[in-house]
């Protein structure tokens, strides 16, 4: 298929996505007015002149007259039973019926005095450890919306769709590239509302289309799903799956020099673990599989360069042992053993890069509710390659995610991550990447939120390859205006700088404005 056909095909797909976005946004904006039209006006009289009373168990927009309520209460007090014609199904229960007349609020009853606890019936609310900061962040953002979401049986879906217009300027040495682009994004969570067990799915993604300038679209996607099973005797089993996609940056050491479109990186993950409490001792063991798959890079002359020799699988078995100093503070130690297998036994440069991996770390998990929660750990990781010409790759690791809310309306989210990135250069084993990011969010007003973002990424090679070391800096600011519970207006400005030990530094400035419709 030619590049023109690809462009036409992708253009049709993006038009369809924008049409879907418009329909969803229109339905979201129309929802409040439709809901208001369905509900009876408070205090209005019925056809027989009596005032309606409200029942907390009745359907939306349904009323019963004061006479009917009074008669129902009187009959209930006298006989203690109700007829089947007076029962109605509770929309929040399954297979049960209630008598609304026996639960109706009398004219002197204050509804505010009746406590409503959403956690009634939930038997196991213990927080799981933080394994995926992205999924946790998505969940926190959407769960903060009161009464939001669409109920799908015993599941609650909280979706949002955004449409933004952006401007990007990149400068490398004396070369400057500008582009104007549109970005369509989807984000959402799907959570269960069960008395036992829990299902949670978090996802976000964005598609870009260049309107003018250099065509360097940067699509991305991230999905994480977890099923927690509350077994007997303080035992919890977790099954997880994930997927992420991103395009390799042109300034990445493993990127193809001069490529028009860099390789896309697909990452698939699946895992299972079991955790059990032995009094003050908490132990867990888990296994996971991760697959990295690289698409072809498109060169400036229109040809493609195959990158499948980088495709690999990572298998790991991890065990953790923690001691509960208190329910909010659990120090732990963790060990990992695994294997990295490449699809091709020998890469394009003639090296066997499959390796055995070992790791250990110690840290502490903290859970002080909404004020402070997360975990942080330091450790050591080592990879031993099959090819004797490649030196072992080892690194001191620092990993964790801390969410801190020092005061109401203010939150700080810090993520630390260490990873080992295998190299594609002949004779070079790879690099250790240390990354730290932080985001500060503050409510300037009840409907206006300010955000500040910062981060640093250190990429370090061993030996003679240290000349390829890089340090990247990130700084950003943004505002979110909550127009109403269904619509947000956002504005963001981000600056990135990549410094090379040898070579020309790269600078990037991106500005985005747009609207987000949510339910």
Give pLDDT tens digits for 124-148.
344 445 455 555 555 555 555 556 7
Instruction: Determine the pLDDT at residue 423.
Output: 86
Residues 298-310 pLDDT 10s: 888 888 888 888 9
Q: Which of 200, 126, 123, 125 is nearest to 157 (CA)?
A: 200
Instruction: Determine the pLDDT at residue 217.
Output: 82
For residue 36, pLDDT over 80 is answered with: no
Long-range contacts: 106-114, Cβ < 8 Å, 24+?
Answer: 106/53, 106/69, 106/73, 107/51, 107/53, 107/66, 111/54, 111/56, 114/56
Helix, strand, coil share of the chain (percent; to 5):
15, 55, 30
- Cα–Cα distance measured from residue 186 to residue 189, given in angstroms and rounded to the nearest whole number: 11
For residue 512, pLDDT over 70 is answered with: yes
Sign of the Cα torsion 119, 123, 128, 134 reads negative
- Cα–Cα distance measured from residue 364 to residue 325, given in angstroms and rounded to the nearest whole number: 10
Q: Which of 20, 29, 156, 16 is nearest to 486 (CA)?
A: 29
Q: Which of 337, 280, 344 is nearest to 312 (CA)?
A: 344
- Cα–Cα distance measured from residue 58 to residue 74, given in angstroms and rounded to the nearest whole number: 19
Running DSSP on this structure, what letter comes out for residue 502?
S
Domains in the chain with CATH codes? 39-113 (no CATH), 123-149+163-184+281-518 (2.40.160)
CB 167 within 8 A of CB 511: yes
Calculate ∠ Cα 281-283-286, nearest 5°: 170
- Cα–Cα distance measured from residue 63 to residue 86, given in angstroms and rounded to the nearest whole number: 14
pTM over 0.75: no
Total residues belonging to the chain: 519
- The structure tokens listed for 32 are 């409040």
pLDDT mean over 17-30: 48
Residues 351-386 pLDDT 10s: 999 999 999 999 999 999 889 999 999 999 999 999
- Cα–Cα distance measured from residue 76 to residue 83, given in angstroms and rounded to the nearest whole number: 10
| Higher-scoring residue by pLDDT: 176, 142 | 176
Q: How many CB atoms lie within 10 A of CB 345?
A: 11
For residue 62, pLDDT over 90 is answered with: no
Residues facing residue 202 across a β-bridge: 189, 224
For residue 483, pLDDT over 50 is answered with: yes
Q: How confident is the model at residue 70 (pLDDT cuts 50, 70, 90)?
A: very low
Long-range contacts: 54-59, Cβ < 8 Å, 24+?
Answer: 54/104, 54/105, 54/111, 55/100, 55/101, 55/103, 55/104, 55/105, 56/103, 56/105, 56/111, 56/114, 57/88, 57/90, 57/98, 57/100, 57/103, 58/88, 58/100, 59/88, 59/91
Q: Which of 135, 258, 245 is nearest to 190 (CA)?
A: 135
Three-state SS letters, 363-413: EEEEECCCCEEEEEEEEEEEEEECCCCCCCEEEEEEEEEEEEEEECCEEEE
For residue 253, pLDDT over 70 is answered with: yes
Instruction: Give the helix/strand (H/E) hosting 420.
Output: strand 410-422
């Amino acid at each position: 298929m030619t590049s023109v056909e690809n462009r036409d095909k992708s253009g049709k797909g993006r038009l369809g996505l924008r049409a879907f976005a418009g329909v969803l946004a229109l339905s979201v904006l129309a929802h409040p007015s439709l809901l208001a039209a369905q509900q009876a006006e408070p205090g209005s009289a019925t056809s027989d002149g009596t005032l309606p009373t409200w029942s907390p168990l009745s359907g939306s927009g349904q009323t019963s007259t004061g006479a009917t309520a009074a008669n129902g209460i009187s009959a209930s007090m006298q006989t203690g039973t109700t007829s089947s014609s007076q029962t109605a199904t509770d929309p929040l229960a399954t297979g049960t019926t209630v008598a609304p007349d026996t639960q109706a609020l009398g004219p002197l009853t204050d509804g505010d005095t009746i406590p409503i606890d959403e956690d009634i019936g939930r038997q196991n609310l213990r927080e799981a450890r933080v394994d995926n900061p992205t999924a946790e962040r998505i969940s926190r953002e959407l769960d903060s919306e009161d009464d939001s979401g669409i109920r799908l049986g015993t599941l609650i879906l909280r979706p949002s769709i955004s449409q933004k217009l952006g401007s990007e300027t990149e400068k490398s040495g004396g070369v400057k590239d500008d582009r104007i682009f549109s970005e369509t994004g989807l984000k959402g969570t799907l959570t269960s509302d069960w008395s036992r067990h829990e299902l949670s799915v978090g996802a976000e993604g964005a598609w870009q289309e260049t309107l003018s300038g250099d065509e360097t679209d940067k699509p991305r996607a991230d999905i994480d799903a977890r099923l927690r099973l509350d077994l007997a005797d303080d035992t919890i089993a977790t099954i997880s799956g994930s997927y992420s996609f991103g395009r390799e940056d042109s300034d990445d050491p493993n990127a193809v020099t001069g490529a028009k479109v860099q390789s896309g990186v697909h990452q698939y993950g699946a895992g299972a673990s079991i955790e059990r409490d032995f009094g003050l001792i908490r132990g867990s063991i888990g296994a996971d599989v991760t697959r990295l798959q690289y698409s072809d890079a498109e060169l400036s002359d229109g040809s493609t360069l195959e990158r499948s020799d980088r495709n690999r699988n990572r298998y790991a078995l991890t065990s953790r042992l923690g001691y509960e100093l208190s329910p909010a503070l659990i120090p732990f130690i963790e060990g990992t053993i695994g294997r990295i297998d490449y699809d091709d036994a020998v890469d394009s440069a003639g090296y066997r890069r499959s390796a055995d991996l070992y790791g250990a770390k110690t840290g502490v998990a903290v859970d002080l509710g909404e004020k402070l929660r997360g975990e942080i750990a330091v450790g050591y990781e080592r990879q031993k390659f099959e090819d004797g010409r490649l030196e072992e790759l080892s690194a001191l690791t620092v990993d964790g995610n801390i969410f801190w809310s020092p005061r109401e309306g203010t939150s700080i989210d810090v993520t630390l991550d260490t990873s080992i990135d295998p190299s594609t250069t002949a004779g070079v084993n790879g690099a250790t990447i240390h990354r730290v990011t932080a985001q500060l969010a503050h409510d300037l007003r009840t409907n206006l939120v300010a955000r500040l973002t910062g981060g640093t990424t250190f990429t370090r090679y061993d030996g003679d390859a240290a000349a390829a070391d890089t340090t990247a800096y990130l700084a950003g600011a943004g505002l979110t205006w909550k127009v109403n519970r269904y619509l947000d207006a956002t504005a963001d400005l981000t600056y990135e700088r990549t410094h090379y030990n040898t070579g020309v530094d790269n600078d990037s400035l991106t500005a985005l404005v747009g609207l987000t419709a949510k339910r």
